Structures are given as structure tokens and as C-alpha cells.
């Protein structure tokens, strides 16, 4: 019976997410822009103007050599105390403290502010998808990392593209983790709705959407957090504007942060 419903509906409002896998083990010195274009060719895909490339931060970190070996870490007295109090791995704590410019909470969690300004658990230092003896650090400056990748892609393709570097983080007021943007290039961090009219004709005086976080979260179901081997997701059909705002501009200043 024909109920009038058709599948695969594509409209001007459709946004697509396309996963790209890679079989390559990324090592220090690899160029992420070249690895991405290689994955595009291997997948028989074609880029389009306006595509947004969402990249898992771990692959960027590995290419930048942001990996430490546990056997090279000497645990400090401070790290040992925090670890013993919470039942944490002391080496993990030590690496996190070295990446932190401020330690915010150490009871039950280890919330820090990294040198790049991110406020997160364990300074974003992660053990997942790393060899047994290694820990993966966040990129030193994710916005600069995104800019470098973006410049390489634009130079190689001549196309209008955007880059978002994403990482998985928890949230203090909701359970479960989501992908957020920690770096961006070729796209404004926010989509500003000030000056637009609502359904009743009222002019919006303030309304900003963190579009790079939305795009990072949109890509996460394809990227996953285990062994999916999907470091790249192309988001196609999303209308965005370039601008001067970067991912660092998303972070609230201390005076605006309700938790500090």
C-alpha cells in the first residue's frame, strides 16, 4: 500500500555526515591534510565547496607528536597524593598535572585548565586508542592545528572548506560525554542570530549558537569513541559563515564561569 512516504528525501534543509576511515597508523610528522585527501580518494568521494571537515583530536595529536610513554614519567608527590585519594592511576594524574596551568578540582575528579585554555577532566589526557605504555595529550594549540590543516586543504584543492577539531568531553550538569570543538578554521565559532526576527516578528536582541560544537557533536555518532577507525567526518549541506572567532573564544572567562 502506498502511504505517500518516500525514503531518501533530500531537500535544501538536508545536512549529511559522511564517515571516512583510514587504515594508516598515524605517526609524528604526518600531514593530516594529506592523509584526509588520501582517505577521500580511497573512498571514491569528491569534496564540495562548503564542506566542513570534522577531525578527531587524537589523530592530530599523534601527528604532532603529542604522545608520552608511561615509562618516561616520574610521579611527583602531589600527583601521588591526588591519585591515592581518588583511586586514580598516578601516572595519568602526573601527565595531566604537567599539561595544566591551573588545577581546579581534585576531589572525585581531576578538573584542570590546560595551557590552551580548555577546562576539562585530566587535562584531556587520554589512554583510549593508545598503545599500552602511552598516553595521548591534546594538541598544544588546537586552533593553530586546525588552521594548518585548513591552509593545506585549501592550497591543495582551491575549494571553500572548513575544519573543526573535536574531542570528547563530559559536562558538569548532564551525564554522558559528547563531542565538542576544541579548534576551528575557515568557519566562525558562533552563528549569531541578533537582528533576526522570531515567529512573531520580534527582533532578537541576543542569540548565539556555538555552531562548531554542534558540528562536532553531529559527527560523533560516526566517529565513535572505541575502535571505529573513523578519524574524519565530512559534514555537507550546512550553511555557515567564516569569521575571526576561534574555538578558544567559546571558553567562558573566569568571571563568567558559574563554577569558578
Q: How confident is the model over 171-185, as pLDDT tens digits?
A: 888 899 999 999 999
Average pLDDT over residues 24-37: 93
State the DSSP code for 258: T
Give the pLDDT band (50/70/90) at residue 160: very high
Helix (H) or strand (E) holding 233: strand 232-236
Average pLDDT over residues 51-66: 96
Q: Please give the residue that has the higher pLDDT: either 25 or 38.
A: 38
* Residue 26: CB atoms within 10 Å: 17
CA 128 vs. chain centroid, Å, equals 15
Give, in order, the Cα–Cα distances in Å from 23 to each of 20, 183, 227, 229: 10, 24, 12, 7
Computed over every residue of the chain, the mean pLDDT equals 88
**E-strand stretches of 75-142:** 100-105, 111-114, 119-121, 134-136
Give the pLDDT band (50/70/90) at residue 30: very high
For the chain, percent of residues with pLDDT exceeding 70: 87
Give, in order, the Cα–Cα distances in Å from 133 to each of 31, 69, 122, 124, 193: 24, 6, 17, 17, 47
pLDDT of residue 9: 44
N- to C-terminal Cα separation, the chain: 60
Q: How confident is the model over 3-23, as pLDDT tens digits?
A: 454 444 444 578 999 999 887
Give, in order, the Cα–Cα distances in Å from 44 to each of 40, 41, 231, 258: 6, 5, 17, 48
Ordered by start, the domain boundaries in the chain are 15-66+139-253, 67-138
Give the pLDDT band (50/70/90) at residue 225: low
Is it the case that residue 131 has pLDDT exceeding 80?
no
Is it the case that residue 161 has pLDDT exceeding 50?
yes
* Residue 18: CB atoms within 10 Å: 15
- The sign of the CA dihedral 108, 253, 64, 94 is negative
Q: Are 166 and 56 in contact (CB under 8 A)?
A: yes
Cell of 229: 577507525
pLDDT of residue 10: 42
Is it the case that residue 204 has pLDDT exceeding 90?
no
Q: Are 108 and 121 in contact (CB under 8 A)?
A: no
Cell of 146: 586546525
Cell of 150: 585548513
Give the pLDDT band (50/70/90) at residue 242: confident
pLDDT of residue 151: 98
Give, in order, the Cα–Cα distances in Å from 112 to each of 100, 168, 201: 6, 15, 44
Is it the case that residue 201 has pLDDT exceeding 60?
no
State the DSSP code for 112: E
Q: What is the pTM of this model?
A: 0.89
The CATH superfamily of 15-66+139-253 is CofE-like (3.30.1330.100)
CA 103 vs. chain centroid, Å, equals 22
Q: Please give the residue that has the higher pLDDT: either 259 or 9.
A: 259
Beta-bridge mates of residue 105: 111
pLDDT of residue 167: 95
- Indicate the class that CATH gives domain 67-138: alpha beta
Beta-bridge mates of residue 166: 56, 181
Average pLDDT over residues 190-205: 60
Amino acid at each position: 500500500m502506498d502511504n505517500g512516504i518516500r525514503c531518501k528525501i533530500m531537500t535544501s534543509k538536508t545536512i549529511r555526515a559522511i564517515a571516512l576511515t583510514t587504515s594508516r597508523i598515524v605517526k609524528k610528522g604526518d600531514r593530516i591534510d594529506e592523509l584526509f585527501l588520501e582517505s577521500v580518494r580511497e573512498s571514491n568521494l569528491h569534496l564540495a565547496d562548503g564542506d566542513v571537515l570534522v577531525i578527531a583530536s587524537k589523530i592530530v595529536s599523534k601527528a604532532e607528536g603529542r604522545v608520552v610513554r608511561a615509562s618516561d614519567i616520574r610521579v611527583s608527590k602531589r600527583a601521588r597524593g591526588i591519585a591515592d585519594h581518588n583511586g586514580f592511576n598516578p601516572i595519568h594524574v602526573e601527565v595531566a598535572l604537567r599539561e595544566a596551568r591551573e588545577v581546579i578540582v581534585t576531589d572525585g575528579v581531576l578538573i584542570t585548565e590546560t595551557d590552551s585554555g580548555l577546562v576539562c577532566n585530566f587535562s584531556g589526557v587520554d589512554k583510549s586508542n593508545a598503545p599500552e605504555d602511552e598516553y595521548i595529550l591534546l594538541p598544544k594549540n588546537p586552533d593553530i592545528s586546525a588552521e594548518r590543516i585548513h591552509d593545506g586543504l585549501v592550497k591543495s584543492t582551491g575549494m571553500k572548506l572548513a575544519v573543526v577539531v573535536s574531542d570528547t568531553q563530559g559536562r558538569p550538569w548532564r551525564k554522558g560525554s559528547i563531542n565538542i570543538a576544541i579548534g576551528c578554521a575557515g568557519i566562525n565559532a558562533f552563528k549569531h542570530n541578533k537582528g533576526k526576527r522570531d515567529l512573531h516578528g520580534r527582533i532578537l536582541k541576543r542569540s548565539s549558537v556555538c555552531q562548531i560544537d554542534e558540528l562536532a557533536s553531529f559527527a560523533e555518532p560516526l566517529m565513535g569513541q572505541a575502535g571505529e577507525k573513523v578519524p574524519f567526518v565530512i559534514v555537507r549541506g550546512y550553511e555557515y559563515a567564516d569569521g575571526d572567532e576561534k574555538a578558544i573564544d567559546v571558553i567562558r572567562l573566569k568571571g563568567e564561569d558559574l563554577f569558578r
